[in-house]
Amino acid sequence: KAGVTQTPRYLIKTRGQQVTLSCSPISGHRSVSWYQQTPGQGLQFLFEYFSETQRNKGNFPGRFSGRQFSNSRSEMNVSTLELGDSALYLCASSWDLAGGPWYEQYFGPGTRLTVT
Amino acid sequence: AQKVTQAQTEISVVEKEDVTLDCVYETRDTTYYLFWYKQPPSGELVFLIRRNSFDEQNEISGRYSWNFQKSTSSFNFTITASQVVDSAVYFCALSEAGAQKLVFGQGTRLTINP
């Protein structure tokens, strides 16, 4: 079974630009979560999507947004990039049954974003 | 609010030594889940174990073992007879039941020297 895939793996953008990152979950997984990893703040939760709806949201400004498609693939967008947005962005997927047991998240390799 | 503390920022040991990584958590939830993930230099987080708050049984998987104690809010991870391939950053994480939202500790960088 293929794992979580993320594209692109590396990205360099200029301050003020916007960027879109893509994530394809493990087949059958309907929950997709996004995390930001920086040396200073560590791993922080951005948001989670399930069946095309944002179900959980972290404490990030509105410049960070996401969406999920009917095939469970997800994208996250960051507008008006700031230097502090330079980070490794990790996507994770999970098998999630409403009202059922809770399963672990499996992570992709991440997209390393550098803002100059 | 939920919080996970990994007090050990870096640990360095010689191969074949046993090593324990500490994890202390805070939560007001009565039902929650605890996890350990490994992050090798490639960057991808690798799932190691999940434990729910009602299951305090310790678990052993090969050279890995986990000790969960609700009384001290700790979920420690021990590697027995460490190997160079165990070198990585290890993260402890917590989530409330029903929420796909992990709260991570700051991680412990483990270096196993040959």
pLDDT tens digit string along B35-87?
Answer: 999 999 888 999 999 888 988 888 888 999 999 999 999 999 999 999 999 99
Cα separation, B46 vs A110, whole angstroms = 12
pLDDT of residue B37: 96
Cα separation, A17 vs A3, whole angstroms = 30
pLDDT of residue A95: 84
pLDDT of residue A109: 95
**Mean per-residue pLDDT, B90-95:** 96
Taking a C-beta distance cutoff of 8 angstroms, is the pair A109, B44 a contact? yes
**Mean per-residue pLDDT, A21-41:** 95
Which has more confidence, A104 or B23? Answer: B23
Question: Which H helix or E strand runs over B13?
Answer: strand B10-14
pLDDT of residue A113: 98
CA distance, residue A18 to nearest chain B CA (Å): 24
CA distances from B67 to A27, B10, B29, B40 (A): 32, 20, 20, 23
**Mean per-residue pLDDT, A33-48:** 96
Give the B window 21-60 contacts with A, CB below 8 Å.
Answer: 33, 35, 37, 42-47, 50, 52
State what percent of residues in chain A have pLDDT above 70.
94
pLDDT of residue B83: 97
pLDDT tens digit string along A93-109?
Answer: 998 765 555 678 999 99
pLDDT of residue B96: 84
What's the token pair of residue A80?
């008006």
Question: Which H helix or E strand runs over B36?
Answer: strand B32-39
| Chain B residue with Cα closest to A101 | B98
User: To probe the interface with A, which of B36, B101, B106 has the most A CB atoms within 10 Å?
Assistant: B101
Cα separation, B29 vs A3, whole angstroms = 31
**Mean per-residue pLDDT, A20-29:** 95
| Chain B residue with Cα closest to A9 | B43
CA distance, residue A48 to nearest chain B CA (Å): 7
CB atoms closer than 10 angstroms to residue A11: 15
Burial of A116 (0-12, 13-18, 19+ CB in 10 A): exposed
Mean pLDDT, rounded, of chain A: 93
